[in-house]
């Protein structure tokens, strides 16, 4: 049988179709134009034209994070490709499966500083799992297939395929499936049996064990397995910023989120434990504080599919390399036999933790400045929307309040930029999530600073019938930076006032801006208006909705572990002494 002869551009489109890709986000330009011509004829690929390539990257991230599928974005060479870099770095930090396809100048022009030339393979090498440069049309199918495989297996992450213009234009035999040869790339998914036995022995002996759960549980799809293991052991569970929803907030064993703005029980539970059951977490500095003082008396079981993470920051007494789902399944089976229906005795441990839960509940102090309390706004969005919704947050105070005050009951319901902390993530990520999960209610919870970085994608949403809801938590400031200036810089507010929601000036007026983009736009300034606005947004599905919530600029995120100190110094509220008093 003779294989079809296709241009490299046609091969790109056909390869994506055969891989099962259905949605791509992109923006054309000269070097990728050959691919956009056959893309127009595809009956299987929906292309969504964004207004900025960064929006394409974040939309692909949101698509992947909401669905578990590989997100795909396309851009041209030079500035088109470099505009993807922030999203690619973001995906790398948060282990998001992403396939970025970029056009490149003709192969004979590479290295000549040709128009719109940039070495995007070199630029992205530190922030991708792998980057391919394709200069021949016959190499296109293998490169696309390999990139898709790498992005979606092992520790998920971004892969870039850069295709020269002549490789797109020239023809070659299209061979599918291609032979994908990746020497050295053999992700370990199945754990070693001896390590499973050793982990079970530590858990059985521990008096104060605690689950330290990271985003790897979400990426692995291991939430159900985690629930079964946690209930078998009976130990407390903490879920990091990237793992919110991996374990139900309503479960009595859940202590909440640990870290810089985590709950006191979660932070202190980790500090006072004698065993960390670490699943798909990487001992990030925002969780550990000063690493050498983190959980000082605890032994460590560390499960991760990426062997480079184990021992990188904290020595693991029992290192287990493998897919979280497979590891937890085997560990549960081993413990079921070892425990013989009897949980380890943790009476004193739970007495201590329950005392913390009672003394330090998550809450906030209402302000009397005449503005809305941002915590209340976000809490009501979560309560009215329910656990089946998806919430994508920007970065800053509103991100932390969203992680704290919305109750997450299922994985893939919370999307945010955790590792990179990328402002502008929320709106395009919500857009991508809505494309991936059109039947779900999708909120972008954004700050007035973040919103101004990528709000142009509201035009994309309106034109493509992607009715996301956007809640702007408008404190007229770069809120988290202002909080640090309040606490650590003598209230010297250097360049943090945005003038977006003050009494005297409102630039821009977000309601007028949203209306210009074809959205339903609402401004909310009174507490009694909050619920009605949220319900109207939920009921409106013929266009995007933007709600401008005018909140107080002095509200702060608490609890807080200041940077550079031990987690023992966690503060429950401003001007409060550190929680830990040295006694259990």
Question: What pLDDT digit, counting tens, does each position of 18-63 carry?
Answer: 999 999 999 999 999 999 999 999 999 999 999 999 999 999 999 9
- Other CB atoms within 10 Å distance of the CB of residue 181: 8
Which tokens in the block code for residue 509?
């007026």
In this predicted structure, the answer to whether residue 1 has a pLDDT above a threshold of 70 is no
526 and 378, same structural domain? yes
What distance in Å separates the CA atoms of residue 539 and residue 521, rounded to the nearest whole number?
Answer: 13
394 and 539, same structural domain? yes
In a domain, 344, yes or no: yes
Which tokens in the block code for residue 8?
């490299």
* 90 and 422 Cβ atoms separated by less than 8 Å: yes
Of residues 165, 371, 379, 469, which has the active-site annotation?
165
Of residues 115, 190, 224, 383, which has the active-site annotation?
115
396 and 355, same structural domain? no
93 classed as catalytic: no
25 classed as catalytic: no
- Domain with 545 in it: what CATH number? 3.40.50.970
355 and 453, same structural domain? no
DSSP per-residue letters across 440-476: S-EEEEEEHHHHHHHTTHHHHHHHTT---EEEEEE-S
169 and 104, same structural domain? yes
What distance in Å separates the CA atoms of residue 76 and residue 82, rounded to the nearest whole number?
Answer: 9
Question: What pLDDT digit, counting tens, does each position of 106-160 carry?
Answer: 999 999 999 999 999 999 999 999 999 999 999 999 999 999 999 999 999 999 9
pLDDT of residue 195: 98
Percent of the chain at pLDDT > 90 equals 92
Mean pLDDT for the chain overall: 96
225 classed as catalytic: no
Question: Which 3-state string (H, E, C) describes 405-441?
Answer: HCCCCCCCCEECCCCCCCCCCHHHHHHHHHHHCCCCC
512 and 426, same structural domain? yes
Q: Is 160 helix (H, G, I), strand (E, B) or coil?
A: strand
- The confidence band for 503, taking pLDDT boundaries of 50, 70 and 90, is low
What distance in Å separates the CA atoms of residue 291 and residue 382, rounded to the nearest whole number?
Answer: 33
Which tokens in the block code for residue 99?
């396939």
Is residue 380 within a helix (H) or strand (E), and if so which, with residue range? helix 374-385
* 482 and 553 Cβ atoms separated by less than 8 Å: yes
16 and 151, same structural domain? yes
Question: What pLDDT digit, counting tens, does each position of 398-434 carry?
Answer: 999 999 999 999 999 999 999 999 999 999 999 999 9
Q: How many domains does the chain have?
A: 3
* 456 and 448 Cβ atoms separated by less than 8 Å: no
pLDDT of residue 504: 65
Of residues 116, 169, 197, 456, which has the active-site annotation?
116
Peptide bond between residue 485 and the one before it cis (omega within 30 degrees of 0)? no
pLDDT of residue 2: 65
What distance in Å separates the CA atoms of residue 103 and residue 36, rounded to the nearest whole number?
Answer: 11
pLDDT of residue 70: 98
Question: What pLDDT digit, counting tens, does each position of 331-362 carry?
Answer: 999 999 999 988 889 999 999 999 999 999 99
Beta strand spans in 34-143 (E):
46-49, 71-75, 98-104, 130-134
Q: pTM, whole model, 2 decimals?
A: 0.97
Of residues 53, 326, 330, 334, which has the active-site annotation?
53
434 classed as catalytic: no
Which tokens in the block code for residue 354?
């329950």
Question: What pLDDT digit, counting tens, does each position of 65-105 carry?
Answer: 999 999 999 999 999 999 999 999 999 999 999 999 999 99
Q: Which domain holds residue 450?
A: 374-550
Nearest to 80 by CA among 27, 40, 125: 27
Of residues 257, 268, 453, 480, which has the active-site annotation?
480
Query: What is the pLDDT averaged over residues 10-17?
Result: 98
412 and 353, same structural domain? no
Question: What pLDDT digit, counting tens, does each position of 223-251 carry?
Answer: 999 999 999 999 999 999 999 999 999 99
In a domain, 566, yes or no: no
480 classed as catalytic: yes
384 and 310, same structural domain? no
Question: What pLDDT digit, counting tens, does each position of 131-142 carry?
Answer: 999 999 999 999
77 and 216, same structural domain? no
Question: What pLDDT digit, counting tens, does each position of 292-344 carry?
Answer: 999 999 999 999 999 999 999 999 999 999 999 999 999 999 999 999 988 88
pLDDT of residue 584: 45
């Amino acid at each position: 049988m003779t294989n079809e002869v296709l241009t490299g551009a046609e091969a790109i489109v056909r390869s994506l179709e055969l891989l099962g890709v259905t949605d791509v986000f992109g923006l054309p330009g000269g070097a990728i134009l050959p691919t956009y011509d056959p893309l127009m004829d595809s009956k299987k690929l929906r292309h969504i034209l964004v207004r900025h390539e960064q929006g394409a990257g974040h939309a692909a991230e949101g698509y992947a994070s909401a669905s578990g599928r590989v997100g795909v974005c396309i851009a041209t060479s030079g500035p088109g490709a470099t505009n993807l870099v922030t999203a690619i770095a973001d995906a790398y930090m948060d282990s998001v499966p992403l396939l970025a396809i970029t056009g490149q100048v003709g192969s004979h022009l590479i290295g000549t500083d040709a128009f719109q030339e940039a070495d995007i393979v070199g630029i992205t090498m530190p922030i991708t799992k792998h980057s391919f440069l394709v200069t021949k049309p016959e190499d296109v199918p293998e490169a696309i297939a390999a990139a898709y495989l790498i992005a979606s297996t092992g520790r998920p992450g971004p892969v870039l395929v850069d295709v020269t213009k002549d490789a797109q234009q020239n023809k070659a035999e299209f061979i599918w499936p291609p032979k994908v040869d990746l020497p050295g790339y053999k992700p370990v998914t199945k754990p070693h049996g001896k390590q499973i036995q050793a982990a079970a022995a530590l858990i059985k002996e521990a008096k104060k064990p605690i689950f330290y759960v990271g985003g790897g549980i979400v990426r692995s799809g291991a939430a159900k397995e985690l629930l079964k293991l946690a209930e078998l052991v009976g130990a407390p569970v903490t879920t990091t910023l990237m793992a919110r929803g991996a374990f139900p907030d309503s479960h009595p064993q859940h202590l909440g989120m640990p870290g810089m703005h985590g709950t006191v029980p979660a932070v202190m539970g980790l500090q006072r434990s004698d065993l960390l059951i670490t699943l798909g977490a990487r001992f990030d500095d925002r969780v550990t504080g000063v690493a050498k003082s983190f959980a000082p008396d605890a032994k460590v079981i560390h499960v991760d599919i990426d062997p480079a993470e184990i021992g990188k920051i904290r020595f693991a007494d029992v290192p287990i390399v493998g897919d979280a789902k497979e590891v937890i399944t085997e560990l549960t089976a081993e413990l079921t036999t070892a425990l013989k229906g009897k949980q380890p005795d943790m009476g004193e441990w739970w007495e201590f933790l329950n005392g913390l839960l009672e003394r330090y509940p998550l809450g906030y102090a209402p302000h009397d400045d005449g503005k809305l309390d941002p915590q209340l706004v976000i809490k009501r969005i979560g309560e009215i929307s329910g656990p089946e919704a998806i919430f994508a947050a920007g970065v800053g105070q509103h991100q932390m309040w969203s992680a704290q005050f919305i109750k997450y009951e299922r994985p893939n319901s919370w999307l945010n930029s955790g590792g990179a902390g990328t402002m502008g993530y929320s709106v395009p990520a919500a857009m991508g999530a809505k494309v991936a999960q059109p039947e779900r209610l999708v909120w972008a919870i954004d700050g007035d600073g973040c919103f101004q970085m990528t709000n142009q994608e509201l035009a994309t949403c309106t034109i493509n019938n992607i009715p996301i809801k956007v809640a702007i938590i408008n404190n007229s400031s770069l809120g988290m930076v202002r909080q640090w200036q309040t606490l650590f810089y003598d209230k010297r507010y250097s360049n943090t006032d945005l003038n977006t929601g003050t009494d005297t000036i409102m630039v821009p007026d977000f309601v007028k801006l949203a209306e210009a983009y074809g959205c339903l736009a609402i401004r909310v300034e009174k507490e009694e208006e909050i619920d009605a606005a949220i319900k109207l947004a939920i009921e409106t599905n013929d266009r995007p909705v933007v709600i401008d919530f005018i909140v107080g600029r002095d509200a702060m995120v608490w609890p807080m572990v200041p940077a550079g100190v031990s987690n023992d110094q966690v503060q429950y509220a401003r001007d409060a002494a550190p929680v830990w008093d040295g006694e259990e």
